[in-house]
């Protein structure tokens, strides 16, 4: 999806939303006051295995930053799928 986001069941396991996949939620691109950015491992997507473990581009550990000026939060993904939300100095 070029602008916006989609949450889907990746029925063929190829990591892309295509024919045969099941869409769960679809959203439009954010307004200009919202910035969502992922580090190298989560720059384009976040996937989860059936056991809850997440999968990034090359490893399962990474961060997604969400800024709604002037506030910023970082969602940190641990190896086993555990999430932690940081703010302030813990969220560079």
pLDDT range class, residue 24, cuts 50, 70, 90: very high
* Whether the predicted pLDDT of 58 surpasses 80: no
Percent of the chain surpassing pLDDT 70: 92
3-state class (DSSP) for residue 12: coil
Where does the pLDDT of residue 25 fall: very low under 50, low under 70, confident under 90, or very high at 90 and above? very high
Contact (CB, 8 A) for 72 and 60 = no
Average pLDDT over every residue of 61-85: 85
Q: Would you report the helix, strand and coil content of the chain in percent, each value rounded to 5?
A: 5, 40, 50
Q: Are 9 and 24 in contact (CB under 8 A)?
A: yes
pLDDT at 59 > cutoff 80: no
Q: How high is the mean pLDDT of the chain?
A: 82
pLDDT tops 80 at residue 89? no
């Amino acid at each position: 999806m070029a602008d916006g986001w989609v949450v889907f069941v990746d029925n063929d396991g190829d990591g892309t939303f295509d024919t045969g996949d099941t869409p769960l939620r679809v959203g439009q691109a954010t307004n200009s006051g919202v910035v969502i950015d992922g580090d190298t491992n989560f720059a384009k997507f976040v996937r989860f295995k059936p056991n809850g473990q997440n999968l990034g581009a090359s490893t399962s550990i990474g961060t997604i930053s969400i800024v709604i000026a002037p506030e910023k939060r970082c969602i940190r993904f641990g190896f086993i799928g555990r999430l932690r939300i940081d703010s302030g100095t813990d969220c560079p």
